[in-house]
């Protein structure tokens, strides 16, 4: 009988702990959270994660939480390491193979597509990219607003 009771006690304890984790994870905002930290577990991942394309330029972009890799046609892929991102502010800071940093902004994803614009590039440090206040005008991304050019449109593959 002791073994049955111990197994039942273990099961109840495990269920209580699991329930505690579930109710904690489903709670509201954490007042002590770091500024800019995501509020939900789903928000901890870059919302652009996936495989995207721009058929006009034979461009394929594969994006995850740590890298943004672009391939044009049969050319070798250009991989960049994602150093920081913010889904609420719609920006990514990445470092390229040349050791410099760039900042990309993007529009909200709509109908499985989004536009992006590199607003700062070739910066010496991550801090420079974080401090960059350069912006882009997303009012008409098809036709301009990205340093005198149109924004790049990517569609989910």
pTM for the complete prediction?
A: 0.72
Q: What are 5's two structure tokens? A: 């009771």
Q: Is residue 19 part of a domain?
A: no
Overall size of the chain counted in residues:
157
Q: Is residue 136 part of a domain?
A: yes
Q: Is residue 25 part of a domain?
A: no
**Among the listed residues 14, 66, 53, the one whose alpha carbon sits nearest the alpha carbon of residue 153:** 53
Count of alpha carbons within 13 angstroms of residue 40, beta-carbon side:
7
**Among the listed residues 74, 72, 91, 71, the one whose alpha carbon sits nearest the alpha carbon of residue 83:** 91
Listed in sequence order, the DSSP H helices in the chain are 2-25, 126-131
- Specify whether the CB–CB gap between 113 and 129 falls below 8 A: no
In 7-77, where do the E strands start and end?
Answer: 50-54, 59-63, 67-72
Question: What is the total count of domains within the chain?
Answer: 1
What's the domain range around 104? 47-156
Cα(59)–Cα(21) distance, integer angstroms: 42
pLDDT values of the chain reduced to their tens digit, one per residue, 157 residues: 444 434 333 333 333 333 332 323 333 334 444 444 444 445 589 999 999 999 999 999 999 999 999 999 999 999 999 999 999 999 999 999 999 999 999 999 999 999 999 999 999 999 999 999 999 999 999 999 999 999 999 999 9
Torsion of CA 117, 120, 122, 126, to 10 degrees: -110
Q: Is residue 6 part of a domain?
A: no
């Amino acid at each position: 009988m002791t073994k049955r009771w111990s197994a039942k006690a273990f099961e109840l304890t495990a269920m209580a702990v699991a329930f505690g984790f579930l109710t904690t994870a489903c709670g509201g905002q954490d007042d002590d959270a770091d500024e800019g930290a995501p509020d939900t577990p789903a928000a901890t991942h870059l919302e652009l994660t996936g495989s995207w394309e721009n058929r006009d330029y034979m461009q394929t972009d594969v994006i995850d939480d740590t890298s943004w890799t672009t391939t044009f046609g049969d050319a070798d892929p250009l991989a960049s390491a994602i150093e920081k991102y913010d889904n609420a502010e719609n920006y990514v800071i990445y470092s390229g193979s040349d050791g410099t940093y760039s900042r990309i902004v993007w529009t909200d994803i709509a109908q499985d597509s989004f536009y992006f614009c590199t607003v700062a590039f070739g910066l010496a440090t991550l801090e420079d990219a974080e401090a960059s206040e350069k912006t882009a005008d997303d009012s008409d991304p098809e036709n301009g607003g990205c340093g005198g050019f149109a924004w790049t449109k990517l569609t989910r593959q």
